[in-house]
Structure 1
Amino acid sequence: MRVAVVGGGISGLVAAYRLRQALGESAELVLVEERDRVGGILRTVDIDGDPVDLGAEAFVGRRPEIPELMRELGIEDQLVFPAGKRPLVWSEGRGHRLPERTLMGIPAAPESVAGLVDADTLAQVEAEPARPLRWKPGADVSVGDLVGDRFGEQVVRRSVDPLLGGVYAGLANSIGVRAALPTLAAALDRGASSLTRAVSEALPPPSTAPVFGGIRDGYRVLLDALRAAADVKSETGTAATRLTRTATGWQLDPIGGVDAVVLATPAPVTARLLREVAPDAADLAAGIELASSAVVALTLPADTALPDNSGILVATGEPLRAKAFTLSSRKWPHLAARDVALVRASFGRFGDDSTQSWSDAALTTAAVEDLATVTGADIRPLHAFVQRWPGGLPQYAPGHVTRILDLRSATTDLPGLALAGAYLDGVGVPACAASGSKAAARIAAHLT
């Protein structure tokens, strides 16, 4: 058997690994990756002699996929957890504590956002349970429209946008409730009498388990372990250009005939490859928009006076260029032990790709100046590394769940083809890994 996995990000690597487990040593697995490296938007580089992640640097620790993978691959000793410090929200020219008891920044009670929003907005949040709520089960609207109507625009800009910006590089107005907040949509479908009530029902139960986890020496440890365990032939620097059906399987140009294909590619690439074999599916994938972002990693003298917080999120509308800062040396105990302080500055939101055209020097200057503004510290970087992620994150717009259901339906009659990737069921690393496992199971069932 010969199986191609198109796309060398975490989704594709997990798919290849699961296929190797299912099909055994005799199967030929070929990984086709357009970039000259694997990992997709996960990348680890050495800065000042130590590994630093320039894409995702954490995963949701309460999901099982990544810890289970690490145990299977024998790298569980690399699992680390944050120090438990809270981030700040920069709004109206100063830092505020991140609201507690919220669902992606949506408060369950007015006291959650006290001090972050004005008195009129607090009164609106407090009065919201008494206002009639009109929600049709199965409906979908943007998070911004729902929260803005019920709680006011300050809650959207100062509490919700900063968190959604970190997950999707988007805004509340570009993200749908049903895809981004399924537990909230479920509470509304069940007939919650108010948004306040729905948020309270949707909040996860209290837990002492860490919310996030990380990998001590960066995501490349996981990527390298997956690649080795999959025993896959890697065709990096190779773009898949055309996919067609044959009498016995598939023709994938330029690598030739295969028995099955996993498309673990971004939505636009998936659309292009599906155009001949499933035009309706291609149209659905092509309708998923992408956001671009950039990360500037800074090393600073260890005694730089950074606040004792895990990061600083920037509210929408602030006169800053960066959208967030991760104070990595405060957030992660293993990074605090290094002889430099490490900070990551993030740029870019959906609908604004302007920072992609900035020079590395301009991005670094903006990172340094904005970091000085939000911390009040004298920022003197020792080194800086710029990483751009053009089209790196899909936008889960209103209607996304239905779009993905229709996309899957439009490919069900294509035996030996499976889809994986961040545009399907979640942009986080665990969700991408789950999509890779699901795609591999579909292919294995077909072939065996």
Structure 2
Amino acid sequence: MSSPDRRAPHVAVVGGGVSGLAAAHRLRTLLGPSARITVLEQRDRLGGVLRTVDLAGTPFDVGAEAFLARRPEVPALLDELGLAGLRVHPGRATATIRAGGRTVGLPAGTLLGVPTSRARLDDVLSATGLDAVRAEPSRALRWEPGSDVALGGLLRERFGDEVADRVADPLLGGVYAGRVDTLGLRATVPALAAALDAGAESLTAAATAGADATPAPPRPPAGTPADGVPPSLTSPDGPPGRVSGGAAPPQVAAGPVFGAVRGGYRVLLSALADAAGAEIRPGTTVRSLERRPDGWRLVLGPVPEPEVLDADAVVLAVPAPALRRLLEPVVPAGASAVAGVELASSVVVALAYRAADVTAMPPTSGCLIAADEPLSVKGVTHSSTKWGHLAPDATDDLVRLRVSMGRFGEAATLQVDDDELVRRARADLRILDGIDAEPVAVHVQRWGGGLPQYGVGHLDRVAALESAVAGVPGLAVAGSALHGVGVPACVGTARSAAERIAAGLTATGTAARP
């Protein structure tokens, strides 16, 4: 119960994606029923890069489709919201990779595509590529402890182009919609960086040490960016020991590796919005943020007719460009830090087919595509095979799958109409899955600037951002640009942001603990 001399606080949450909604929900828990919470979302819908559509009458996710179930954040959130019974896990179908003109099983014995001493790469590399991998441990390695480099350049220098293009790029591209040549080593494979810092004599030895020091790596499901594939195996969905707000790193639990929500992510989003009890304002642009003696002022809406909203505290859960713009006048050091985070665009094409028309489709969970393959798509998920709740049955004899396109730097290739994207997807499905039938339903989902890129120096940028924001009372940041692009990492940053705000309001007497 609040003290009589303490008024109910008002917190503005900018951004209505899963990070913003999770922050609003946590704020409600911490501040109690009297607090005023306002969620401001520029788009006309909530969810950010999470979206569930009806594909031939069945809820189907066309953004992220899975989360890393061995991290605690999403299972705990589902429990809090009374949705634990809707958690589902993939079946036993395994994924494949398309490399060298062939579709084969994902290679074993790598650390997110970096060969260990146990790597089995015969099916994906040429004889020349295999020779380069075998020779790597005998070559002298120069490494400056604490340094960061582009993972692709390091792989090409040590193993040649094929490992980068055919193994690491498709695995990491499924996480970030990025290219291995632009992704930073420390942010994407921190276990490898730690082993190099410790004095590994070769990249193979470092990958072996990194793999041995972590839980058995999950096989990434084929699919689209943000599917929940962990950016690191040391601390899935983010660098080890680096969680927003200085919290301890999440613990990785035993049990199924991946999970999803029956009914799609819209079930989770709707439950979060309801439980937050917030005033939710879609279609509202936050144009600027101003620091005031008694809190914050947000300027909303169009320039000719601006609206002012005053709040005691603000959580910014927005993409990197919007975060930079809003921070510039109030925390310029934070704005400068986040300015280095670039974004990638992608497209998901979801298709439904009659089961009788796709009998040639292999019984796998999907396929990742090597960067040097002459195909338009970068991944295919056989959703009806991967997820039991989407399997055909007597009442719905349809097979559903999703195709993803677009890597960092390829935005121009996506600037065609939907019909052309569907044509490209179907052309590649003929090659990959032997599907030549007309789909009974199609949905094209574009994600312009949907995923932040974890480039060289990303950890330093995030540390500088959080340090700058930590010095400003009543302000916190959350989202996929920080400690991981997966849903668990986003929820983790949201909870940390909410806890920082609630603690600050309580300490200043603006709010009492409920």
Are 1:74 and 2:129 counterparts? Answer: no
Q: CA deviation at 1:109?
A: 3.0
For 2:351, the equivalent position in structure 1 comes to 298
For residue 230 of structure 1, what is the aligned residue in structure 2? 276
Cα deviation per residue 1:302-336 (whole Å; 9 max; x = unaligned)? 13121111111111122111111111111111111
Query: Equivalents in 1 of 2:146, 2:345: separation in Å?
Result: 30
**In the TM superposition, what are the counterparts of 1:259-270 in structure 2 within 5 Å?**
259-270=312-323
- Where 1:292 maps in the other structure, the secondary structure is strand
User: C-alpha offsets along residues 86-145 of structure 1, whole Å, 9 cap, x if unaligned?
Assistant: 211112222121112222121213642112001222122122222222111111011101
| Whole-angstrom CA distance in 1 between matches of 2:141 and 2:276 | 51
Counterpart check, 1:217 vs 2:263 = yes
Q: String of CA shifts for 1:252-293, please: whole Å, max 9, x gaps.
A: 112511000000000000011011111221122122110000
Check the 8 A contact 2:109/2:119 in 1, yes or no. no
2:387 pairs with 1:332:
yes
Aligned to 1:159: 167
How many residues align? The count is 448
Q: Which segments of 5 or more consecutive residues in structure 2 lack a partner in the other structure?
A: 1-8, 218-253, 301-307, 507-514
| 1:371 corresponds to 2:429 | yes
Q: Secondary structure at the match of 1:405?
A: helix
2:370 is the counterpart of 1:315: yes
CA distance in 1 between counterparts of 2:452 and 2:143 reads: 26
Superposition TM-score, scaled by structure 1 size? 0.97
Paired residues for 1:110-129 under 5 Å:
111-129=119-137
Cα RMSD (Å):
1.3
Confirm or deny that 1:443 pairs with 2:501. Answer: yes
1:357 pairs with 2:415? yes
Q: Measure, in 1, the Cα distance between the counterparts of 2:29 and 2:373.
A: 50
Kindly provide the amino acid, as one letter, of the partner of residue 153 in structure 1: D
What is the 5 A alignment of 1:99-138? Answer: 99-109=107-117, 111-138=119-146
Query: Cα deviations across residues 31-57 of structure 1 (Å, max 9, x unaligned)?
Result: 000001110000001111110000000
Report % sequence identity.
Answer: 50
* 1:140 corresponds to: 148
Encode CA deviations 1:223-280: one digit per residue, 9 max, x unaligned. Answer: 1111111111101000111101001110011251100000000000001101111122
Aligned equivalent of 1:42: 50
Q: Which amino acid aligns with 1:427?
A: V
8 Å CA contact 1:110–1:122 kept in 2: the answer is no
Assess if the C-alpha contact under 8 Å between 2:195 and 2:206 holds in 1: yes
**Secondary structure in 1 matching 2:469:** coil
8 Å contact from structure 2 (residues 426, 436) kept in 1? no
- Secondary structure of 2:362 counterpart: coil
**Whole-angstrom CA distance in 1 between matches of 2:200 and 2:256:** 29
Structure 2 Cα separation of the partners of residues 379 and 373 of structure 1: 13
Candidates 435, 440, 454, aligned match of 1:396: 454
Partner in structure 2 of residue 205 of structure 1: 215
2:94–2:364: 8 Å Cα contact kept in structure 1? Answer: yes
Q: 1:247 is matched with which residue?
A: 293
Matched, 1:346 2:404: yes
**8 A Cα contact 1:262 1:417, kept in partner:** yes
> Residues 165 and 372 of structure 2 are in contact (CA less than 8 Å); yes or no, is this contact kept in structure 1?
yes
Residues 170 and 395 of structure 1 are in contact (CA less than 8 Å); yes or no, is this contact kept in structure 2?
yes
- Please say if 1:184 is aligned against 2:230: no
Could you tell me how far apart the structure 1 residues matched to 2:141 and 2:372 are?
29
CA-to-aligned-CA distance 1:135-176 (integer Å, 9 cap, x gap): 111110111012112222101100111111110001101100
**2:326 is aligned with 1:273:** yes
- Could you tell me how far 1:76 is from its partner in structure 2? 0.6
Most deviating of 30-39 and 374-383: 374-383
Deviates more, 1:2-11 or 1:205-214: 205-214
SS at match of 1:178: helix
> Could you tell me how far apart the structure 2 residues matched to 1:85 and 1:133 are?
39
Equivalences for 1:80-91 in 2 at 5 Å? 80-91=88-99
Alpha-carbon distance in 2 for matches of 1:201, 1:109: 10
Query: Partner letter of residue 398 of structure 1?
Result: V
Separation in structure 2 between the aligned mates of residue 60 and residue 202 of structure 1, nearest angstrom: 20
Paired residues of 1:288 and 1:395 also in contact (CA < 8 A): yes
